[in-house]
Amino acid sequence: MADFKNAIELKNVNFSTDDLHIIKNVSGAFPEGKITTLVGPSGAGKSTLFKLLNGLRTVDSGEIIIHGKNINTYPPVDLRRHVGLALQSAPMINGTVYKNIALPLTLNGKELTEETAKELLHLVGLEEELIQRKTKDLSGGQRQKLSIARTLVNRPKILLLDEITSSLDRISQQDIEELIVRINEKYETTIIWITHNLEQALNLGHYTWFLKAGELIESGPIDVLKNPTNEEIIQFVKGEAQ
Ligand SMILES: Nc1ncnc2c1ncn2[C@@H]1O[C@H](COP(=O)(O)OP(=O)(O)OP(=O)(O)O)[C@@H](O)[C@H]1O
Ligand SMILES: [Mg+2]
């Protein structure tokens, strides 16, 4: 830990909904400029943790520190700009690629120039001719690239990825993996990547978090997952390999 600066730190974070204690006293950190893979069984609280990290939910107790400042000190719009979120479902509004890519700005009464839109498409490996295409006519892989491009409009310093490749074929999956690594290297973006694909978690993560039933069981360099010594991680890895 000591040799990393942290983009995000959590201190004794708790979160519940209804009668369910979802995030249980989680303390840990996500190192700056690295790719951290966030793994754990279904229902562990991974997606809920993301909602806490980009302000869609608020902690019941404990603290979330983002780049040295308590998350509550960021105005909501600034926080969403700073911490981008991309989801498996890549939700789109009806209309063109351009309309969707510009959405984070148009929602705030601003405009995205066609030139910048094309640069973003280029960055994620989409042809600029697609700019006037209706999003309903895109393939799954193209939609996911567009979703990432849209998240990048605000140049987030931290990017949260929630199972963004799980519905894609292998080629599109590799495309997206290469894209994320490129973004991480080019902009030094801190990436936190939820994935059920253990091979992906091992290949792409510099660092890892293992969450189970709302508890952070272990976090550390990727070796924690590659050569696990923790019994719960050993069981998880065995289960995933079957
Ligand atoms: N809005 C909500 N109201 C009540 N319970 C919720 C809500 N959102 C999530 N939960 C519950 O919280 C727990 C954690 O859910 P979460 O979606 O964070 O898990 P996850 O680790 O992302 O799982 P998966 O790998 O299946 O996506 C689950 O038991 C889920 O049913
Ligand atoms: Mg989830």
- Mean pLDDT to the nearest integer, 129-152: 94
Query: Could you report the per-residue pLDDT of 86-98, keeping only the tens digit for each?
Result: 998 888 999 999 9
**Dihedral class, residue 156 (left if φ above 0, else alpha if ψ from -120 to 50, else beta):** beta
Please report the pLDDT score of residue 117 as a whole number. Answer: 95
Q: How far apart are the first and last CA of the chain?
A: 32
pLDDT computed for residue 2 by the predictor: 44
52 ligand 1 Cβ < 6 A: no
**Nearest alpha carbon to residue 211 among 203, 201, 2:** 201
Q: In what order do the strands lie in the sheet with 69-70?
A: 20-31, 6-17, 61-66, 69-70
Q: Is 88 in the pocket of ligand 1 (CB under 6 A)?
A: no
Strand partners, 134: 96
Read off the pLDDT of residues 166-201 as tens digits, 9 standing for 90 and up: 888 899 899 999 999 999 999 999 999 999 999 999
42 touches ligand 1 (CB under 6 Å):
yes
Q: Which residue has the tokens 């943790």?
A: 49
Tokens 């498996």 correspond to what residue? 88
With bands split at pLDDT 50, 70 and 90, how would you rate the model's confidence at 107? confident
Ligand that lies nearest to the alpha carbon of residue 213, given by its number in the listed order: 1
pTM: 0.93
DSSP string for 49-99: HHHHHTTSS--SEEEEEETTEEGGGS-HHHHHHHEEEEETT----SSBHHH
Nearest ligand to the C-alpha of residue 211? Answer: 1
pLDDT (mean) for 35-50:
97
> What does the block give as tokens for 234?
């050993």
- Are 126 and 146 in contact by the 8 Å Cβ rule? The answer is yes
Indicate whether 79 pLDDT > 50. Answer: yes
What's the pLDDT at 1?
43
